């Protein structure tokens, strides 16, 4: 049976004035599907400022999803209110790593958020040695197919805006992934674009941007294109181990 993961990223509740309406449009689209996707994955930047009221708004929208979901942190998020507001947990010290278990596959969620320093948000991503050791242990303990997720892309995507704020020092992550052949792909957000490249010899797939789009440098759009349509991805994990991804841009702003 083909497994379908609906991948949404960068909702930025509390940021653009239409952020909630965009997220609601994405949920409307997903809830209208028959059959529904098996899992909803949200790969970070749920909130724009990391405020409790932003997570309350996000929770009101995301709770419409009736099935399994996995929601990770991004550079705009703040761990403590994120954990309380979306996961109903008190955060232990350190990164917020998560696992979604299913009969035939797993999703492992890393936390590449770097906490703010002196009140200034840090936009690049980092993974600690402890987090990488956790990942290696998880991958070594179970040979079911794994989709790995984190917010920050660990490879350049050809976008000038994103180049300085990707995952810092991605080589240790690459070494861990290369040791485990059952990692099917790495699913990320942050770049606000629907695109694909490779990392550690596997697909590296950006889920798109719910709140806005970051176009190519040469395109005749704003650097952050807030009028662009909400985009999302559908990842289809087939019985034979192949992964197929479909990106979808939803009608927006009166455009058909």
| Cα–Cα distance for residue pair 152/171, rounded to 1 Å | 14
**Distances in whole angstroms, Cα of residue 123 to Cα of each of 12, 52, 60, 188, 191:** 14, 20, 26, 15, 11
The CA-based diameter of the chain, rounded to the nearest angstrom, is 50
Q: 133-161: b or e for each residue (b if 16 or more CB lie within 10 Å)?
A: ebbbebbeeeeebbbbbbbbbbeebebee
Q: What is the CATH number of the domain that holds 245?
A: 3.60.21.10
Give pLDDT, residue 92: 66
42 assigned to some structural domain: yes
Cα 154 to its chain centre, rounded Å, is 13
145 assigned to some structural domain: yes
**Distances in whole angstroms, Cα of residue 255 to Cα of each of 221, 229, 249, 252:** 16, 9, 11, 5
**Distances in whole angstroms, Cα of residue 1 to Cα of each of 107, 148, 205, 241:** 17, 20, 22, 11
254 assigned to some structural domain: no
Adjacent-strand bridge partners of 213: 225
Which residue segment(s) compose the domain that 170 sits in?
3-249
The H-or-E segment that residue 188 falls in is strand 183-188
> Please, are residues 166 and 152 in contact by the beta-carbon 8 Å criterion?
yes
Q: Tens place of pLDDT for every residue, the chain, 256 residues?
A: 899 999 999 999 999 999 999 999 999 999 999 999 999 999 999 999 999 999 999 999 999 999 999 999 999 999 999 999 999 888 767 899 999 998 899 999 999 999 999 989 999 999 999 999 999 999 999 999 999 999 999 999 999 999 999 999 999 999 999 999 999 999 999 999 999 999 999 999 999 999 999 999 999 999 999 999 999 999 999 999 999 999 999 999 744 3
**Distances in whole angstroms, Cα of residue 224 to Cα of each of 103, 211, 213:** 40, 10, 6
81 assigned to some structural domain: yes
> Please, are residues 97 and 134 in contact by the beta-carbon 8 Å criterion?
yes
**Backbone dihedral angles phi then psi of residue 158, each to the nearest 5 degrees:** 80, 20
256 assigned to some structural domain: no
> Strand pairing of 106-109 and 98-101?
antiparallel
53 assigned to some structural domain: yes
Q: Which residue has the tokens 């956790």?
A: 134
> Please, are residues 236 and 3 in contact by the beta-carbon 8 Å criterion?
yes
158 assigned to some structural domain: yes
State how many domains the chain has.
1
């Amino acid at each position: 049976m083909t497994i379908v993961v609906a991948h949404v990223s960068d909702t930025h509740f509390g940021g653009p004035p239409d952020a909630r309406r965009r997220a609601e449009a994405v949920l409307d689209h997903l809830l209208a599907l028959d059959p529904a996707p098996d899992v909803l994955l949200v790969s970070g930047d749920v909130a724009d400022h990391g405020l409790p009221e932003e997570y309350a708004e996000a929770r009101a929208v995301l709770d419409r999803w009736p099935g399994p979901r996995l929601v990770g942190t991004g550079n705009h998020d703040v761990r403590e209110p994120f954990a309380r507001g979306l996961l109903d947990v008190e955060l232990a010290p350190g990164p917020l790593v998560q696992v979604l278990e299913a009969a035939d596959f797993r999703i492992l969620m890393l936390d590449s958020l770097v906490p703010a320093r002196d009140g200034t948000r840090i936009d690049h991503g980092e993974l600690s040695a402890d987090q990488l050791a956790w990942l290696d242990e998880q991958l070594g303990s179970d040979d079911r197919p794994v989709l790995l997720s984190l917010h920050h892309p660990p490879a350049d995507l050809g976008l000038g805006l994103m180049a300085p704020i990707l995952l810092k020092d991605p080589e240790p992550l690459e070494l861990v992934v290369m040791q485990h052949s059952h990692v099917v792909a790495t699913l990320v957000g942050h770049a606000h674009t629907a695109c694909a490249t490779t990392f550690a010899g596997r697909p590296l797939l950006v889920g798109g941007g719910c709140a806005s789009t970051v176009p190519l440098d040469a395109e005749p759009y704003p650097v952050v294109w807030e009028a662009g349509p909400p985009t999302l991805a559908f990842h289809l994990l087939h019985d034979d181990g192949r992964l197929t991804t479909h990106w979808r841009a939803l009608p927006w702003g009166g455009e058909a």
